[in-house]
């Protein structure tokens, strides 16, 4: 028998680098860039590791191809930030058959068999949506009549599905608050602006609030509101998710009301998870990030220390 090929892929010899293949979604937002940087910094600066990085340019098919390449290269671990939730079973089965652990980063997948991935490292997107709605209602007042337009993230992404769900849940419990329009802006600033322009054109002064699934779309919407001749942050309440530096600046400038933090700096947690896995430890199925909600003076005070 060939003893070499019988060795588990997850326990390389001591002198061998741990090879990590990371399939990233793309570069659609400031948040995504910060996540990519965190992975590159964490693994690029650690001589124990070798990082193979692949940018899927927003396409699931590219991610599936990248995973297959990582499998054929016999990497020791795969990290996947899945652009959408569904359609992963086959390729994850292939990784499992090759004995390569898969760590989901920041977004989740829908699979019937949870053993197809080792751990999910990331945020509670439902909670983020709930926090966005709660903070909006707190600040505007529960008695006020508020028509909300929603800029959703990428269609089919867990970050979009769950942020929608959490927000809707809270809004549904208050009859004064209504989501009157909802459309995807694909998590980008350009599309956020475009969709907001269309919302303003059709509903104009009937809009009291914007809920954007990420800061970049909110920043695009802010521009659209200004060009329409209204004051974002004053005439129209704007709340979004992520907590990128540009959002804190917009809060300081009075144009954005609230940002719900979503931590992209997942490199260190991923590294720890891979090392624990290699040491034979049982990992949490969901390794959660600690996050906060920022508005007003609290955001202004936090701005100088924002890392992304």
Give the interface with ligand AHR as residue ranges (CB under 6 A): 28-29, 31-32, 106-107, 159, 187, 214, 216, 241-242, 262
Cβ 168 to ligand AHR shortest distance, Å: 17
Name the minimum Å distance from CB 240 to ligand AHR.
9
* Dihedral sign computed on CA atoms, order 221, 227, 233, 237: negative
Phi, psi for residue 233 in degrees, rounded to 5: 90, -20
Angle at CA of residue 65, ends 60 and 68, nearest 5°:
130
Token readout for 25 is 């979604």
The nearer residue to ligand AHR, 28 or 76, going by C-beta atoms, is: 28
Does residue 150 contact residue 167 with C-beta atoms inside 8 Å?
Answer: yes
Provide the minimum distance between the beta carbon of 243 and ligand AHR in the complex, in angstroms, as a whole number.
9
118 vs 152, beta carbon nearer ligand AHR: 152
Query: Is the CB of residue 172 less than 8 Å from the CB of residue 199?
Result: no
Cβ-based nearer residue to ligand AHR, 150 or 242: 242
Q: Which is nearer to ligand AHR, 146 or 238 (CB)?
A: 238
The CA distance from 72 to 95, in Å, is 10
Q: Beta 293-295 vs 258-261: how paired, if at all? A: antiparallel
- For ligand AHR, which is the closer residue by CB, 31 or 70? 31
Q: Closest approach of Cβ 2 to ligand AHR, in Å? A: 41
Considering the complex, what minimum distance in angstroms separates the CB of residue 3 from ligand AHR?
Answer: 42
Which residue's CB is nearer to ligand AHR, number 98 or number 246? 246
Taking the complex as a whole, the smallest distance from the CB of residue 186 to ligand AHR amounts, in Å, to: 9
Distances (CA, A) of 18 to 94, 102, 292: 20, 14, 33
CB 22 → ligand AHR: shortest distance, Å?
14
Least gap, CB of 32 to ligand AHR (angstroms): 5
Residue placing its CB nearer to ligand AHR in the complex, 125 or 295? 125
Measure the CA–CA gap between 110 and 281, rounded to whole angstroms.
25
Pick 276 or 291: Cβ nearer ligand AHR: 291
Q: Which is nearer to ligand AHR, 208 or 257 (CB)?
A: 257
Characterize the bridge pairing of strands 286-288 and 237-242.
unpaired
> Least Å distance between CB 210 and ligand AHR?
16
């Amino acid at each position: 028998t060939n003893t070499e090929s019988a060795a588990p892929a997850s326990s390389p010899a001591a002198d061998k680098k741990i090879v990590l293949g990371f399939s990233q979604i793309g570069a659609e937002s400031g948040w995504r860039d910060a996540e990519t940087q965190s992975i590159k910094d964490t693994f690029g600066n650690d001589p124990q590791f070798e990082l193979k990085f692949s940018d899927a340019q927003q396409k699931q098919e590219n991610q599936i191809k990248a995973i297959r390449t990582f499998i054929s290269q016999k990497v020791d671990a795969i990290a996947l930030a899945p652009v959408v939730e569904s359609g992963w079973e086959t390729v994850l089965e292939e990784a499992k058959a090759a004995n390569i652990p898969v760590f989901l980063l920041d977004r989740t997948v829908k699979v019937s068999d949870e053993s197809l991935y080792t751990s999910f490292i990331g945020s509670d997107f439902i909670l983020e949506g709930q926090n966005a709605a709660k903070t909006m209602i707190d600040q505007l007042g529960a008695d006020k009549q508020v028509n909300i337009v929603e800029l959703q993230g990428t269609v089919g992404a867990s970050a979009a599905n769950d942020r929608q769900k959490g927000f809707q849940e809270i809004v549904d419990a208050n009859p004064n608050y209504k989501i009157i329009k909802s459309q995807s802006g694909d998590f980008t600033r350009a599309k956020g602006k475009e969709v907001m322009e269309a919302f303003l054109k059709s509903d104009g002064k009937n809009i009291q609030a914007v809920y954007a699934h990420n800061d970049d779309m909110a920043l695009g919407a802010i521009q659209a509101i200004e060009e329409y001749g209204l004051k974002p942050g004053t005439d129209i309440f704007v709340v979004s998710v992520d907590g990128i530096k540009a959002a804190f600046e917009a809060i300081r400038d009075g144009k954005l009301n609230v940002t719900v933090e979503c931590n992209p700096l997942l490199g260190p947690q991923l590294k720890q998870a891979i090392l624990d896995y290699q040491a034979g430890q049982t990992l949490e199925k969901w390794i959660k990030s600690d996050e906060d909600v920022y508005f007003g003076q609290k955001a202004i005070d936090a701005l100088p220390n924002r890392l992304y």
